[in-house]
Amino acid sequence: MAQCVQSVQEFIQDSFVPLVAALCSEEAERLTRKNNLSFAELVKPFCRLTSEVHMRDPNNQLHIIKNLKIAVNNIITHPPQPGAIRKLLNDVVSVSQPAEGLVANVITAGDYDLNISATTPWFENYRECFLQSMPASDHEFLNHYVACMLVVSSSEPEPVEQFLKLSQEQHRIQHSSEYLYPKWFIPNTLKYYVLLHDVSTGEEQRADSIYEEMKQRYGTQGCYLLKINSRVSNRGTDEQIPDPWSQYLQKNSIQNQDCYEDCPYTVISNKSSDHLISDGLDSEIKDGLPNNFKTHPLQLDHPSGSLDSTDYTKAATSLQDSKKSNSGMPHGACLTLTDHDRIRQFIQEFTFRGLLPHIEKTIRQLNDQLISRKGLSRSLFSATKKWFSGSKVPEKSINELKNTSGLLYPPEAPELQIRKMADLCFLVQHYELAYSCYHTAKKDFLNDQAMLYAAGALEMAAVSAFLQPGAPRPYPAHYMETAIQTYRDICKNMVLAERCVLLSAEILKSQSKYSEAAALLIRLTSEDSDLRSALLLEQAAHCFINMKSPMVRKFAFHMILAGHRFSKAGQKKHALRCYCQAMQVYKGKGWSLAEDHINFTIGRQSFTLRQLDNAVSAFRHILINDSKQSPAQQGAFLREYLYVYKNVTQLSPDGPLPQLPLPYINSSATRVFFGHDRRPAEGEKQAATHVSLDQEYDSESSQQWKELEEQVVSAVNKGVMPSNFQPTQFCLNHYSDNSKFPLAVIEEPIIVEVSFRNPLKVPLLLTDLSLLWKFQPKDFNTKHEGETKELGTCDGAMIGTEAIAEFLINSEETKVARLKLFPHQTGELHILGVVYDLGTVQGAVTLDGIDPSVGLQTGKFVSNGLSVRGRQDLEIQGPRLNNTKEEKTSIKYGPDRRLDPIITEEMPLLEVFFINFPTGLLCGEIRKAYVEFVNVSKCPLTALKVVSKHPEFFTFGGNTAALTPLSPSASENCSAYKTVVTDPTSVRTALLSSASSVDFGVGPGGQPEVINVPLPDAILLPGASVQLPMWLRGPDEEGVHEINFLFYYESIKRHSKMCHRVLRHTAVICTSRSLHIRATVCRSNALEDEEGRGGNMLVFVDVENINTSETGVKEFHIVQVSSNSKHWKLQKSVSISEDKDTKLASRERAKLCFKAVRCKNSEENYTFADIVFGNEQIISSASPCADFFFQSLSTEFKRTHVQSHTHASQRAGKQSFDETVRLIQRCSEVDLNIVVLWKAYVVEDSKQLILEGQHHVALNTIGKEAFSFPQKQELPEMVLLKFFRPENTPVPARPTPEQLSNLIKTSLHYPESFSHSFHQKSLCLVPVTLLLSNCSQAVVDVMIDLRHKTSPEALEIHGSFTWLGQTQYKLQLKSQEVYSLQLKACFVHTGVYNLGTPRVFAKLVDQVTLFETSQQNSMPALIIINNI
Band the pLDDT of 389: cuts 50, 70, 90.
Answer: very low
Write b or e for each residue in 781-800: b if 16 or more Cβ atoms lie within 10 A of its Cβ, otherwise e.
eeeeeeeebebbeeeeebbb
Q: Tell me the residue type at 861.
A: F
pLDDT for residue 383? 38
Query: SS3 for 545?
Result: helix
Band the pLDDT of 357: cuts 50, 70, 90.
Answer: very high
pLDDT for residue 976? 74
CA atoms of 1056 and 726, how far apart (whole Å): 12
Read off the pLDDT of each residue in 303-307 and give the average, rounded to a whole number.
35
- Judged against a pLDDT cut of 70, whether residue 1060 lies above it is answered with yes
pLDDT for residue 1395? 85
Question: Are residues 1299 and 1263 in contact, defined by beta-carbon separation less than 8 angstroms?
Answer: no
Write b or e for each residue in 455-468: b if 16 or more Cβ atoms lie within 10 A of its Cβ, otherwise e.
bbbbbbbbbbbbbe
Band the pLDDT of 1360: cuts 50, 70, 90.
Answer: confident
Task: Express each pLDDT in 1006-1050 by its tens digit.
Answer: 566 788 888 888 899 999 999 999 999 999 888 999 999 999 999
Cβ-Cβ contacts under 8 Å for 801 (sequence gap 6 or more): 770, 771, 773, 792, 793, 820, 821, 822
- Judged against a pLDDT cut of 70, whether residue 1001 lies above it is answered with no
Q: Judging by DSSP bridges, how do beta strands 1378-1387 and 1361-1364 pair with one another?
A: antiparallel
Rounded to 10°, the helix 8-15/121-132 angle is 30
* DSSP-assigned beta bridge partners for residue 1109: none
Task: Express each pLDDT in 176-224 by its tens digit.
Answer: 878 878 888 888 889 999 999 988 887 888 999 999 999 898 888 889 9
Read off the pLDDT of each residue in 1078-1107 and give the average, rounded to a whole number.
76
Task: Express each pLDDT in 312-327 by its tens digit.
Answer: 333 333 333 444 444 4
Calculate the CA 348 to chain-centre distance: 72
DSSP 204: H
CA nearest neighbour of 957 among 1011, 1024, 994:
1011
Query: SS3 for 424?
Result: helix
Of the two residues 381 and 237, the one the predictor is more confident about is 237
pLDDT for residue 628? 79
Task: Express each pLDDT in 477-489 by its tens digit.
Answer: 899 999 999 999 8
Question: Are residues 1393 and 1422 in contact, defined by beta-carbon separation less than 8 angstroms?
Answer: yes
Band the pLDDT of 1088: cuts 50, 70, 90.
Answer: low
Radius of gyration of the chain (CA): 60
Q: What is the dihedral of CA 956, 959, 960, 964, to 10 degrees?
A: 70
Question: Are residues 389 and 476 in contact, defined by beta-carbon separation less than 8 angstroms?
Answer: no
Least confident segment among 85-99, 399-413, 510-524: 399-413
CA nearest neighbour of 848 among 681, 630, 1133:
630
Least confident segment among 252-266, 597-611, 1141-1155, 1292-1306: 252-266
CA atoms of 1248 and 1052, how far apart (whole Å): 49
pLDDT for residue 1376? 78
CA atoms of 1326 and 1361, how far apart (whole Å): 11
pLDDT for residue 485? 92
Question: Are residues 248 and 44 in contact, defined by beta-carbon separation less than 8 angstroms?
Answer: yes
State the alpha helices, DSSP H only, in 293-430.
309-328, 337-349, 356-373, 379-389, 414-427
pLDDT for residue 469? 84
CA atoms of 1062 and 1104, how far apart (whole Å): 42
Of the two residues 1083 and 1153, the one the predictor is more confident about is 1153
pLDDT for residue 654? 76
- Judged against a pLDDT cut of 80, whether residue 306 lies above it is answered with no
pLDDT for residue 819? 92
Question: Are residues 193 and 218 in contact, defined by beta-carbon separation less than 8 angstroms?
Answer: yes
pLDDT for residue 1041? 92
Least confident segment among 118-127, 383-392, 552-561, 744-753: 383-392
CA nearest neighbour of 709 among 1186, 1047, 1100, 204:
1047
CA nearest neighbour of 1224 among 1292, 1161, 1296, 1290:
1296
- In degrees, rounded to 5, the angle at the alpha carbon of residue 300 between the alpha carbons of residues 299 and 304 is 140
Of the two residues 1287 and 599, the one the predictor is more confident about is 599
pLDDT for residue 972? 38
Q: Say if residue 663 is preceded by a cis peptide, omega within 30 of 0.
A: yes
| H/E element, 308 | none
Least confident segment among 239-243, 758-762, 941-945: 239-243
- In degrees, rounded to 5, the angle at the alpha carbon of residue 1080 between the alpha carbons of residues 1074 and 1083 is 155
Question: Would you mind telling me the total number of residues written for the chain in this entry?
Answer: 1428
pLDDT for residue 795? 60
Q: Say if residue 182 is preceded by a cis peptide, omega within 30 of 0.
A: yes
How far apart, in Å, are the Cα atoms of 778 and each of 775, 781, 783, 1290?
9, 8, 6, 65
- Judged against a pLDDT cut of 60, whether residue 264 lies above it is answered with no
- Judged against a pLDDT cut of 70, whether residue 1093 lies above it is answered with no
pLDDT for residue 1286? 54
Band the pLDDT of 852: cuts 50, 70, 90.
Answer: very low
Calculate the CA 1163 to chain-centre distance: 68
E-assigned strand segments in 1173-1246: 1176-1178, 1229-1244
Band the pLDDT of 644: cuts 50, 70, 90.
Answer: confident
Task: Express each pLDDT in 1318-1340 by its tens digit.
Answer: 888 888 999 999 888 887 777 88
CA atoms of 511 and 508, how far apart (whole Å): 5
Read off the pLDDT of each residue in 904-917 and give the average, rounded to a whole number.
90
- Judged against a pLDDT cut of 70, whether residue 1369 lies above it is answered with yes
- Judged against a pLDDT cut of 50, whether residue 268 lies above it is answered with no
Read off the pLDDT of each residue in 1257-1281 and give the average, rounded to a whole number.
75
Of the two residues 967 and 107, the one the predictor is more confident about is 107
Could you tell me what percent of the chain has a pLDDT over 90?
19
pLDDT for residue 1413? 65
* DSSP-assigned beta bridge partners for residue 996: 1165
Of the two residues 964 and 912, the one the predictor is more confident about is 912
For the chain, what is the total number of helices (H) and then of strands (E)?
A: 32, 58
Band the pLDDT of 1185: cuts 50, 70, 90.
Answer: confident
Question: Are residues 1331 and 1309 in contact, defined by beta-carbon separation less than 8 angstroms?
Answer: yes
- Judged against a pLDDT cut of 50, whether residue 118 lies above it is answered with yes
Of the two residues 604 and 1273, the one the predictor is more confident about is 604
Query: SS3 for 609?
Result: coil
Other beta carbons less than 10 A from residue 220's beta carbon: 11
| H/E element, 208 | helix 204-218
CA atoms of 995 and 1122, how far apart (whole Å): 13
pLDDT for residue 789? 46
Cβ-Cβ contacts under 8 Å for 682 (sequence gap 6 or more): none
Q: What are φ and ψ of residue 217, in 5° steps?
A: -80, -45
Burial class of residue 678 (count of CB atoms within 10 Å of its CB; 0-12, 13-18, 19+): middle
Task: Express each pLDDT in 1405-1428 by its tens digit.
Answer: 777 666 666 544 456 788 898 988
- Judged against a pLDDT cut of 90, whether residue 1283 lies above it is answered with no
DSSP conformation letters of 379-416 = HHHHHHHHHHH-S-PPPPPTTTS---TT----TT-HHH
pLDDT for residue 1386? 92
Task: Express each pLDDT in 700-740 by its tens digit.
Answer: 888 888 889 988 998 888 888 888 788 888 898 888 888 88
Burial class of residue 928 (count of CB atoms within 10 Å of its CB; 0-12, 13-18, 19+): middle
Question: Are residues 1034 and 1111 in contact, defined by beta-carbon separation less than 8 angstroms?
Answer: no
DSSP conformation letters of 684-715 = TEEE-----TTSPP-HHHHHHHHHHHHHHHHH
Query: SS3 for 932?
Result: strand
- Judged against a pLDDT cut of 80, whether residue 429 lies above it is answered with yes
- Judged against a pLDDT cut of 60, whether residue 132 lies above it is answered with yes
How far apart, in Å, are the Cα atoms of 97 and each of 115, 252, 1283?
16, 15, 81
Question: Are residues 140 and 456 in contact, defined by beta-carbon separation less than 8 angstroms?
Answer: yes
- Judged against a pLDDT cut of 60, whether residue 377 lies above it is answered with no
Read off the pLDDT of each residue in 1353-1362 and give the average, rounded to a whole number.
65
Q: Say if residue 1184 is preceded by a cis peptide, omega within 30 of 0.
A: yes
pLDDT for residue 1284? 58
- Judged against a pLDDT cut of 90, whether residue 152 lies above it is answered with yes
Question: Are residues 195 and 223 in contact, defined by beta-carbon separation less than 8 angstroms?
Answer: yes
DSSP 940: -
State the sign of the Cα–Cα–Cα–Cα dihedral 28, 29, 35, 37: positive
Task: Express each pLDDT in 46-59 by its tens digit.
Answer: 998 888 888 888 88
- In degrees, rounded to 5, the angle at the alpha carbon of residue 1134 between the alpha carbons of residues 1128 and 1135 is 145
Least confident segment among 1133-1137, 1344-1348, 1399-1403: 1133-1137
How far apart, in Å, are the Cα atoms of 369 and each of 144, 413, 416, 421, 436?
21, 11, 12, 11, 16
- Judged against a pLDDT cut of 60, whether residue 252 lies above it is answered with no
CA atoms of 1424 and 38, how far apart (whole Å): 164
